[in-house]
Structure 1
Amino acid sequence: MRRTTRAGALCGLLLTLLTLSIAPSAQAGDILTEKSAGQRYALQSKAASDKAGKPVCASVATDETGSQAAKLRARVDCSDPAALRPAETFTLHTDKYALAAALRSEANGQYVSAEFHDADSHFGMLRARQDEAFGNWEKFELVSLADGWFALRYNFTENGVSKDYYVSAEVNTTGADQGLLRARTATAPGSWEQFKLVRIPFPASDEPPAATLPAPARSLRTLTWNTCSNNGDCGMYKLSADEFTDAVTQRATTAKADVIFLQEFCEKLAKPLEHKLEARDGGADTWDVRFAPIQLKVAPDRFAQKSCAKNREAYGVAIAVPAENTWYKAVELDSPDKKERRTALCAAVRSWAVMACTAHFSTGGPNYDDPSRHTQQAQAANLAQQAARYSGYRALIGGDLNATPTVTPTESSVPVLQPLYDAYKECDQPANRPTAGSSKLDYLFAASPATWSGCTIGTDTDNPSDHRPVWGTVTLPAR
């Protein structure tokens, strides 16, 4: 549902997103979050605790209908975060200016709204039922308090008058609405208005399952493409989801790709692309498309997932691998302060003994995020190390690395991408043909002593992206 009346403006918020890993959730079904490596959280109330004094977190009412549907109530024991259900877990999102943030429920994939159109006892109640891009009713400011607690502040404007409200957990309310979360308190926050975001551990181990060994030499066809799905000046941005997934699938078919790396990708396109690839192959359960978000700092040391335009959820990178994949991991890369926090995403293909990783580095050079390019060089070193750290697996890397093969940091003679060239073989070396305008920015690397053949740079003819796709066949040595 989308409202005709919109409320106020907000700013700021909290979130820490570090290195993440995830396995597919049987409970989530086709909900977007099943395919995402974004960090999940529980919302703990300071005022609420059970009779044994255990911490209590907010839960979304997924088993109720009508006026009770999707309400948030602080009344679930969360002393063991790993045991929480999707109804008690959320992801955090922000717009491109990092001036607002929203909670999205893992139970139904919908954003939490403060509903000020309801009167009396439900005025300002929080409900997870906004299924479009988040707007003003879904935006909250995080006000830092002592010892890691914070208050959620909501700004409501009515008849030209702006007023701030803090979200309360109404723990003294009895009956069905006990612990109801409502944005209704205008005074300084007390214990009812204090919360924590509790990190939810993923069910998968931080380490992948053991690779199938011994692994014979293997040839894989690999494709990387920056799809610019969040760039209003790019043709891909203008495509419908069906047209977008057609464009990716067509290039994957031309490349006969076994592994697909994608950058500037929107989360909401992951599942449709998976279905499109499987339909092309004449069956189901042949591909998995995984996603990891790029983030924006919304407060000191706090990050939230950057939102894609056109109601396509979070913005980031994606990887398509065989459906046997059950383990994938997002690795947050050190990034310039107050700029996008870039990420790499790795996925294990156990039967191939292959660890496939994709990344989109910060933009470097004068007047860009990383003027000296030293952060880019650190990102290259981190990616090179991360892809190679999994015992028994052969590393394969693809992505938009936002640097040419010869670019050097201002104060160093070492090329930005040297950490990758030191340990890996690149598909188009030494030709190094341009992939974006007149520059080579897109790469395919495989751990030495792998060899590449048939490296191809797509043409600009009928190319809806501002980057050309790159594909080739890599032969990986036996392990």
Structure 2
Amino acid sequence: MKRRVQTLAALLGVLLAFVGVVSVPSAQAADILTQKSAGRKFTLQSKAASDRAGKPVCVSAEVEDAGNQNGKLRARTDCSAAGSWETFTLHTDDSGAHTALRSEANGLYVSAEFHDADNHFGMLRARQDGSIGGWERFDLVPQAGGWYALRYTFTEGGVTSRYYVSSEINDSGTDEGLLRARSTTTPGSWELFRLAEVTPSSAPPAAAATPARSLHALTWNVCANNGSCPMYAYTTDQFAAAVAQRAVDAQADVVLFQEFCEKLAKPLEQQLEARLDGGADTWDVRFAPIQYQIAGTDTWAQKTCAKNRGAYGVAVAVPAENTWYRAVELASPQGKERRTALCAAVPSWSVMACSAHFSTGGAGYDDPERDDQSRQAAFLATEVARYSGYRPVFGGDLNATPTVTPTGSTVPVLQPLYDAYKECDEPADRPTKGSIKLDYLFAPGSATWSGCTIGSDTGNPSDHRPVRGTVTLPAR
């Protein structure tokens, strides 16, 4: 069944942010469980240190110091030489009301340590390996000229105090430029910081000319952060084994995930390598976060998973030749989760594998009129086709049925995708969650799908059924 062609121009005039292209980091660049993410990354410039040096000076997390100095934050590095010690990600466990900083150097959250005494009282240190707690939550307070102040709220003995983070540039020796939550006055230059997004710009590697080939694709919303799903209660090993088994059942070459937790990527990668007979270093599992806007700012922080599983979002599993992956933020309802897609290149196959998770739509949900879902579909239809030489194999949990329409419209939400691509289970459109179809696999119109299978509810630890099929792509 070929759905009617609709003009997309009216839907494409939407503000969409593109997150930085990510190359594979070294093992030294980040903690092994957080090094697979395409989320936004930032440097933190100190105004006071920059003014004194006459050039931008960035904050470092000094992860090779010893004892209780390990991971201390200090404004001391020329920003032009910034590396993993000077790179941070932003996270939130309260829908953007507060933010936490995580160091790319060791994968740990920054704490304001109020148990220390004397000149280290309130010292900032990248040291929290667990979930975000009170010591890790900061207010990001906008100041003039694009600067921010970081404010920490400390309560003890029923007394609440608010401290701004200072970079103490007049200290000497190893404490020069130390960051400490200690100022209770109006922020001055010592308390001003600028977040500069690290956005390397590059295109994917050139796609190879390839003969016609068939690929086994699988998509699954794994429900890793929903307490009503059995998967939520699984240990990391149980999760990786359960997901890898579905990949084995599908003999998958490409796997798309939604409702995924960042720190599950590496254990799953290892399970795929063990179970799919490829051996070590044959798979890569990449991750991209869903985000919330930080209160009172135009800056975004990654939504966290429960149970100390890192950020929350989508993932793609592809062959380990992958070195380029890109997170693409989707226009989403104001004040709600900013949804995302993630694309990863497989050059030797000339395939771009993309996983997406659309906003929830309908009465009582984030997008009650389904207008943003329509924009997300129109954008995704264009975005996955923009990589020269690559054939898109994509899909995910799109949170809409094939026929549902926005309020006041006769055009189905997902029409732009059906206009340009073939869907694995069209026209059967079998249900993938309860009695409705929400999960999809698409490929170019010149491709052919076969063996499309919807998983069973029996023994399924998620509230979505996995969808798998074989796609035959023409020569390129």
The two structures have a TM-score, normalised by structure 1, of 0.94
2:290 to 294, 307, 313: 294
Cα distance in structure 1, aligned partners of 2:441 and 2:267: 25
Residues 1:416 and 2:417 aligned together:
no
Encode CA deviations 1:452-476: one digit per residue, 9 max, x unaligned: 0000000000001000000000011
Matched to 1:241, the amino acid is: T
Which residue of the partner structure matches residue 225 of structure 2?
230
SS at match of 2:48: strand
SS at match of 1:358: strand
Which residue of the partner structure matches residue 357 of structure 1?
354
Cα distance in structure 2, aligned partners of 1:120 and 1:383: 54
Q: Is the 8 A contact 2:58 2:82 kept in 1?
A: no
Which residue of the partner structure matches residue 59 of structure 1?
60
The percent of aligned pairs where both chains have the same amino acid is 69
Matched to 2:183, the amino acid is: T
1:184 to 170, 182, 185: 182
1:201 to 190, 199, 219: 199
Number of aligned positions between the proteins: 458
For structure 2, the residue ranges without an aligned partner over 5 or more in a row are: 1-15
Cα distance in structure 2, aligned partners of 1:244 and 1:102: 27
SS at match of 2:446: coil
Deviation, 1:50, is: 7.6
Q: Is the 8 A contact 1:427 1:452 kept in 2?
A: yes
Encode CA deviations 1:60-114: one digit per residue, 9 max, x unaligned: 1122101321110001110x2xx41111110000014322210000010000000
Which residue of the partner structure matches residue 43 of structure 2?
42
Residues 1:212 and 2:213 aligned together:
no
The two structures have a TM-score, normalised by structure 2, of 0.94
SS at match of 2:436: coil
Q: Is the 8 A contact 1:30 1:271 kept in 2?
A: no
Cα distance in structure 1, aligned partners of 2:74 and 2:387: 42
SS at match of 2:402: coil
Cα distance in structure 2, aligned partners of 1:182 and 1:229: 36
Cα distance in structure 1, aligned partners of 2:412 and 2:345: 29
Which residue of the partner structure matches residue 450 of structure 2?
453
Which residue of the partner structure matches residue 4 of structure 1?
none
Deviation above 4 Å: which 4+ runs of structure 1?
A: none
Residues 130 and 52 of structure 1, relative CA distance in 2, 3 Å threshold: closer
Q: Is the 8 A contact 1:277 1:287 kept in 2?
A: yes
Residues 70 and 343 of structure 1, relative CA distance in 2, 3 Å threshold: same
2:375 to 367, 375, 378: 378
Which residue of the partner structure matches residue 138 of structure 1?
136
> Which residues of 2 match residues 58-77 of structure 1 at below 5 A?
58-77=59-78
Cα distance in structure 2, aligned partners of 1:68 and 1:418: 56
1:402 to 394, 399, 404: 399
Matched to 1:206, the amino acid is: S
> Which residues of 2 match residues 271-286 of structure 1 at below 5 A?
271-280=266-275, 281=277, 283-286=279-282
Encode CA deviations 1:313-370: one digit per residue, 9 max, x unaligned: 1000000000000000000000000000000000000000001111000000111111
Deviation, 1:478, is: 1.3
Cα distance in structure 2, aligned partners of 1:296 and 1:319: 22
Q: Is the 8 A contact 1:218 1:478 kept in 2?
A: yes
Cα distance in structure 1, aligned partners of 2:22 and 2:94: 25
Cα distance in structure 2, aligned partners of 1:96 and 1:289: 27
Which residue of the partner structure matches residue 174 of structure 1?
172
2:438 to 419, 437, 441: 441
Matched to 2:268, the amino acid is: L
Encode CA deviations 1:160-180: one digit per residue, 9 max, x unaligned: 100000000000111110000
> Which residues of 2 match residues 252-271 of structure 1 at below 5 A?
252-271=247-266
Quote the RMSD (CA, aligned, Å): 1.3
Residues 130 and 341 of structure 1, relative CA distance in 2, 3 Å threshold: same
Cα distance in structure 1, aligned partners of 2:45 and 2:55: 11
2:237 to 209, 226, 242: 242
Deviation, 1:31, is: 2.5
Matched to 2:22, the amino acid is: I
Cα distance in structure 2, aligned partners of 1:344 and 1:96: 22
Which residue of the partner structure matches residue 22 of structure 1?
22
Matched to 1:24, the amino acid is: V
Cα distance in structure 2, aligned partners of 1:370 and 1:332: 16
Cα distance in structure 2, aligned partners of 1:339 and 1:395: 28
Deviation, 1:52, is: 5.2
Cα distance in structure 1, aligned partners of 2:172 and 2:31: 35
Cα distance in structure 1, aligned partners of 2:95 and 2:361: 20
Encode CA deviations 1:413-433: one digit per residue, 9 max, x unaligned: 111000100110000000000
Deviation, 1:29, is: 6.0
For structure 1, the residue ranges without an aligned partner over 5 or more in a row are: 1-15
Cα distance in structure 1, aligned partners of 2:184 and 2:95: 26
Which residue of the partner structure matches residue 117 of structure 2?
119
Deviation, 1:388, is: 0.5
